Structure 1
C-alpha cells in the first residue's frame, strides 16, 4: 500500500494567490473542509512558504513530519479513499489528465536539482492505492468531467496561462500510475516533496534517484528525469528531458490558435476597448490600461491602437510573457506597453512598483466555459481593491450566466447507472445499480461539451432560457459563495434532470456589443454561429431527478463559490427553505471517481450490451471458468448470468474494487464472482482456486487509456497470464484491428492552424513558438478527440492498417505497415483519424470509431463513448506547405511491442513528411 502525491504545480498556487503562510493555511483548511472526516490529518504547525535560509534543516524536518502525518492518515483509514486538496472541484476542473502525455500517460515527474526539497507548491490530492503498477490512476483518473482535457481543461490555467487541450485528459480522462517501476515498495519508502520553485517532484528515498541528483549537482546542469507510466504495457519508462519540457508541452497543447481564430471574440473585444478608451478620453483623463492575462498582448495592442496612453500587460506564464514582449516590440508598441511577468495579485503600485498608479481601464480575458473556473472572481476582486480606480471602465463590462432545465435520458445516462437487461435461458435478468449510486449526487464538476452537436431530439425542454446571475466587472467583485434563485413555471411536465448553461459577455455598459456562447437553438441568428472550442457550453446534473408539472412553479437555484457553479431545484421559496445554501455535491459512491461521463454512457448503452451478450453466448459453455480483465466492467456479471461455472475479475485499484463490490452485492453476486485485486503478472494459481481459465475476456476498457490503442493493455495482460490459461482457452475479443481514414474537419483544424495576422496585428511569433513546441514533442503524435463533437468529412474510405491477434502472445518484434490511401472526395486533407475495432468473435465486431459507412458526401458518424486519435498533417500545422489536391496519402504505421507505442508518419504528394 502506498500514498500518492498529485500536484498542479507552482502556477496553480500562484494563480490562486496562495503565497506565504496563507498557502499552508488554505491547504489545511481545505483538507478539513473537503474530507469532512474525523481521521483527516491536522497539518500543523503552520509552515511558511519559504524556509528561513539560516535554518533549512529544521524547516525540512517540519515539512517531512507534516507530510508523513498526512501519509500516515491516508494509510490508516480503514476505508482508504481519497484526500482532495485544495478542493475536489479544482482537481476535476484542472483535469489531472491534462498533465499527462497522450503518448505515454505521464505520471509522476521527478526533477533533480541542486537545491533541497521544499514545500509543495500546489498539492491537489493524496491517494491511497493498493500495490499495483497500473492502478494509481484509476483512483482519480475518471474525473467527473470525463477526463476531458480537449482544449482547455478547458481553461487557460490561470489568468494568463495557456489553455491546455481538452483532449489530454478528462476523457481519461485518466492517467496516474506507479512512479517507480513495479510498486513493491514499503509504504514509507516513497516520501516525496515538490519543489515550489521548479514545479517538480523529488523522491528522496530511492538510492538510484539520489545518486542521479548527486550527479546533477556535480555537473551543475538541470535535467528532468521523467517517470512515464505506459498505459499500454503497464510499465514505467524513465526518460531524461530538457528542464523546460513541461513548458513545451503546455504550449504545444494550448488553444491560443483557437482563440486567435475566434473572430467574433476578437472583434467584440476591439469594439469594447475602443468604446472604453473613448469614454475615458471624453472625461478629459489619460487612458491607463491594466490587461490581466495578456497572453500574446493582443488586447493591450488593441488598447494602444484605440488611443490608450499606456498599458500594463500582466502575464504569469513566463514563456508567454517573453513572447508577448517580442510581439509587442515587433508591432511597434514597446514604448506604450509594459509586460509584467507576474500573477496579478503580485503586481505592486507606487514609484518603485510595477505600476506608478492605478489604472482606469481594466481589460481581462479570464474566462473558461464555466465563466469563473479560471479564478476570474478572485482576480477581479483583488484588482478592484488594489490595482484599478473606483468606477473604472472594464472590458468586458458585464457577464450573464443563463440556464435551461431539461429532461434527457441521453445526458442523464452520463451521470447515473441504469438497470441493464440481460436475456438468458432462464428469462430476463436485470443488473440493478446499488442504492449508493442511486442516491449519490454525483461529481461536482461541470461537463463541458459542444452542445451544438447534441440534437434537440435528445432532450425535452422544461423551462425557458433563464438568466441566473450577472457579474458587473466595472465594480467591486466578490468571490464569496453565493446563490441566485429564479422562479419559473415549467413549460412541460417531466423529470428535471439536467441544467444546460452558458454565458454571454457585454463589452460596453449599454450592452450593444455582446459575445454569446448560446447554442444554436437559443441564438437569434443561428446561421452566424461562431465556432470556438476554448469556450463551449456546460452540462450540470441535478443531485437527483425531480418530477415537475407544467404550470406548477418551482425555483431553480444557481450556487457558486470562487471557482465553480452547481445547481439545485427547490419547490419552496428561498426565504422558506433553510437549504438555499447547500454544500457543493460530492460523490460518495466512488463510481463517479472511477467512471468518466462517457464511460457511464457506454455502460448504459443497451445495444452495446446486447452485442456482448450475443458474443458471449457463442463462446460460453456450462463449465466455463472466466477471467475478466477490464476496469469497472459489468462483463463478469454478463458471463455469470449467461451460465459460466465460475467467474473471476481483476480489479487493479482499490476504487474499482469497492465500486464493483457494491454492484455485486446489490445484485446478490458477492459470493458468485471473485474479485482479484492484484496485478495480472502477480496472479497465482491460488487466486484462481487452482483452476485453469477457459475464457479470457474483456471489453477491453482501462481508465488509464487516452489513445484508442492504449487498451491493447488487454493483450499484455493476456500474455502475462498465459500460464493460467487452459488448453484451448478462448480469448474474447479474439483480435483487434487499427483503422484509419483521411478527413476534412469543419472546424477542429483551427486549434492547430497558425493565425499569422489577428485584427491587423502580427502574431507570427506566437505561431512560431507553438510550432517549436510541437516540433519539440507533439508534432509526430496523434491526439485524442471525441469526434462526435467535431463534424468532419471523410475524403477516403476507411482502411484497416494493423491487426492484433489476442489469441497469441504479444510478439517480440515490431509490426509495421506501409501503404497508400486513395482519396475519393475533394477537400482539404486536414489529417487522419485512427481508431480500434475489437473482433469479439468472427461475426461480431465493436468499433470505437466509425459506427456505420460514410455517406455519399462523406459525413461521419462516430462512437460517442470513445475518443478517436487525430493526426494533423503538416498542411494544417503550416499553411505555407501547399498540398494542392492530392489523390493519395502515403502512410507508415508501426507497433512497438516493447513500449506498446504506435508510431506513424504520413506523406502527401509534393509535400514533405507530415
Structure 2
C-alpha cells in the first residue's frame, strides 16, 4: 500500500482550514521511511562523498535540504562535515518538529529551518548564498508523482551554484514485460458464462491505462506471474539539470524471453546517490536482486491499454511516456496510442470501481459460492416471492434474476452493473417496504473494513421477516507477527544515532487523535507470521432482533514470536452449508509459518500498543461488540503473560 506523503514542493495549502494536519501526519508514512536503514545509510554515503569533494576543491560545503521532514538529512550533512545547512519544509507541523529535533541533537547553530515551499525560497533572504550541495527526498513509488521534476529544475536553476552536487544525482526507470491472470482480474471485468453474463464491448475495448502500486516482491515468479522479458532501463533523469525534461516519449524494443499474454509491465526505479555514481539505491523487487524492503517506495504494475500476445525472441516495441507527474506505456499493437497522457476510462467501470473491488468481483471462488447458494435457494423458491437486493453495484442481483427466474428489486441505481442486464430482470431505485427474500453480498462502496458492510442489517429489519442470503456472519481474529507492517505504528526512538523523541510524540499523538484501533490493510502485500490459530470472535445471526451483540473470550499463542497485533476478517454464511470469506487466509495457517492472504480484499488489523514477546504459555483476551442500527463494531485485545496472568500488556 502506498502511503500518503506531504513534501515541500507540493502546492497543497497546508495552512488552509480544510487541511487536516493530524490525519496527514498519521497517514504520511514518515516513520516507515525512517526505519529504512539502508536508505538512510545510502543518503549518508552520498552526502559524505559530495561534502568531501567540495572540501577537496577548496570550497565550503553549503547544503540545501528540500523537504527536510524530521531534519534527518540535514543532521547527517552536519555530521559529514557540512559548513552550513538550510532545511526547508512547507508542512508546518513537520517544520516545527524538525526544529525541535535539530535543537535536541544540539545542531541548531548549524542548521537553519525555513518553513516554505522550495520554489518560494529566496537567495539573500532564506539562504545567505546559493548552495553547492542539494539533498532531497521528494520521490514517490512512481518517482515523479510528488513533483520531483519541477523541484529539481527550480533548485538547479535558482538555488544552486554552477557545478553543484545533487544527492541523488540520477534516477533510472526500469520496466519488465510479464504475464499473469491476476492482473486481468484487477483490470478487466470477466464474463460469467454460467448465467450468461457477457461484458459490453466498450468495457472489453476500454483503453484505460493505469498504474497499480503494490509490493511486487510478494509475488512468486512462475506461480503468480511469468517474466516475459528481463528488466529494461527506459528513462534516465539527470537530477543535476535545470532543464530536466517535463515530458518525453521514447520507443524501446524489448526482447521477449517467453511466450505469453502480456497485460502490462512491472515498474521500479533506482537512484545514484553520489556525484561519482558509485552508490546505488534500488527499489527493485527482491527476486530481481534487491534484498531491501521498502514500503514508502514499492513497485508498480502499469497496464497497457489492451493485453498483447508475445512470442519468445520477438522484439516488442513499447512506447514509454511521462509528463510532469505520471508515466504510461503502450505497444504498437494497442489501438490507442497517446503521447499526451495516459488513456482515460471510456466505459465508466474504472471510474466507479477500485482495482481491489474489480478483482473481488472477478474472484472465481466468490462467484462459485454465490451461484451454489442461489441454486440451493431455488429448490425452495416461490416464483411469486418478492426478491430484494441490498447493497452497492454487484453481479449478485443479476445472478439471482437468472438463477431464480424472478425479477429482482434493488434500492440502488446499479451503477456499472446496470449495463449487464435489462429492466425486465431488475427494477432499480425501488422503494422497498416488504420482501420474502433479501440478497446481499453484502457490499457498499463506502465500506473500508469488512464489517462496515453490516449496514444492510438495519434495512433488513425493516422488511419484515424475509429469508435472507447471507443467513449469518462471523468475525475472525488471529494473532500475528509482521515482518515490516509494524513500522507504520511504531515509535522510532533514534535514527542513525539521532534522537527522534519529538517526532515520535507528533506521530503517536496524531494516530491516537484520528486513527481507529483497527485499520484496513492489504495483508497479502505484507509478510505475516501466524502466532495462533484463527478464532471466531463473534457470530452474527441476521434473524437476531437484538439491538447490540457482544462477546468476550480468550485465545492461545501457539509459538514463540513477537505479537504486533491481530488480523481480522469476516466470513459470510450464505446458507447453512455455504460460506464466502471476506479476506481470510487462502489456506489454514500454521503457527510460525507465513500466512497466504486473499489478494482481492483488505483485512482489518488491530495493532497492539507496542510489540510483545510471546510464547505458547501465554494467552490473550478479546472483547468485540456490534451495534446494529449504528453499524458500529468495536474491538479490544489484551495480552497476558503466563508468568503473571494479571499482567495486561496490550
Task: Tell me, yes or no, whether TM beats 0.5.
Answer: yes
Tell me by how many angstroms 1:913 deviates: 5.9
What is residue 633 of structure 2 aligned with on the other side?
902
* Of 632, 645, 651, the match for 2:412: 651
Partner of 1:566: 328
Q: How does 1:490-505 map to 2 (within 5 A)?
A: 490-505=256-271
Answer yes or no: is 1:743 the counterpart of 2:480.
yes
Distance 1:738 1:306, change over 3 A: same
Q: Deviations over 1:206-255 (max 9, x none)?
A: xxxxxxxxxxxxxxxxxxxxxxxxxxxxxxxxxxxxxx9x2222222332
What TM-score do you get using the length of structure 2 for normalisation? 0.93
Residue in structure 2 matched with residue 28 of structure 1 by the alignment:
none
- Aligned partner of 1:510 in structure 2 is 276
The 8 Å contact of residues 743 and 795 in structure 1, kept in 2 or not, is answered as yes
Alignment-derived partner of residue 714 in structure 1: 456
User: 1:390, 1:475 within 8 Å by CA — same for their partners in 2?
Assistant: no
Map of 1:826 onto structure 2: 560
Residues 648/477 of structure 1: CA separation in 2 closer, same or farther (3 Å cut): farther
**Which residue number corresponds to residue 786 of structure 1?**
522
Partner of 1:552: 314
More strand by percentage: 2
Match of 1:339 in 2: 113
Counterpart in 1 of 2:298?
536
Q: RMSD in angstroms over aligned alpha carbons?
A: 2.3
User: How has the CA–CA distance of structure 1 residues 560 and 475 changed in structure 2, closer, same or farther, with 3 Å as cutoff?
Assistant: same
Written as runs of structure 1 = structure 2, the 5 A alignment for 1:242-257 is: 246-257=20-31
Secondary structure, counterpart of 1:892 in structure 2: strand
Number of equivalenced pairs = 639
Contact 1:471–1:477, Cα closer than 8 Å, also in 2 = no
Taking the TM superposition and a 5 Å limit, the aligned residue runs for 1:835-914 are: 835-848=569-582, 849-876=584-611, 887-909=618-640, 912=648, 914=650
Q: How does 1:303-702 map to 2 (within 5 A)?
A: 303-350=77-124, 353-422=125-194, 429-442=195-208, 444=210, 446-456=211-221, 457-478=223-244, 480-523=246-289, 529-570=291-332, 581-620=339-378, 621=381, 623=383, 624-651=385-412, 656-657=414-415, 659-664=416-421, 669-676=422-429, 683-684=431-432, 693-702=435-444
Q: Which runs of 5+ in 2 are unaligned?
A: 641-645
**C-alpha contact (below 8 Å) 1:159/1:293 kept by paired residues:** yes
In structure 2, distance between residues paired with 1:516 and 1:709: 39
Q: What is the alpha-carbon distance in structure 2 between the residues aligned to residue 884 and residue 276 of structure 1?
A: 49
**Alignment check: 8 A CA contact 1:558 1:566 kept:** yes
Alpha-carbon distance in structure 2 between the residues aligned to 1:845 and 1:619: 14
Greater CA drift, 882-891 or 372-381: 882-891
CA deviations over 1:854-878 (Å, ceiling 9, x no partner): 12544322221111111111123xx
Q: Is the 8 A contact 1:396 1:506 kept in 2?
A: yes
- Contact kept? 1:412, 1:541, Cα under 8 Å: no
C-alpha distance after superposition, 1:791-831 (max 9, x if no partner):
2122121111122222345x33x322222211111111111
After superposition, the Cα gap between the structure-2 partners of 1:859 and 1:891, relative to the gap in structure 1 and judged at 3 Å, is same
Aligned to 1:799: 535
2:6 corresponds to 1:157:
yes
Instruction: For residue 31 of structure 2, give the secondary structure of its aligned residue in structure 1.
Output: helix
TM value normalised by structure 1: 0.67
Instruction: Give distance in 1, aligned partners of 2:597 and 2:620.
Output: 22
Distance in 2 (alpha carbons) for counterparts of 1:744 and 1:160: 37
Contact 2:560/2:615 (<8 A) preserved: no
Please list every run of 5 or more consecutive structure 1 residues that lacks an aligned counterpart in the other structure: 1-149, 162-193, 201-243, 423-428, 686-691
C-alpha contact (below 8 Å) 1:160/1:295 kept by paired residues:
no
The answer for the alignment partner of 2:17 in structure 1 is 199
- Residue 340 of structure 1: how far off its partner (Å): 0.8
Q: 2: CA distance between counterparts of 1:908 and 1:510?
A: 52
Equivalent pair of 2:14/2:90 in contact (CA under 8 Å): no
Distance 1:911 1:596, change over 3 A: farther
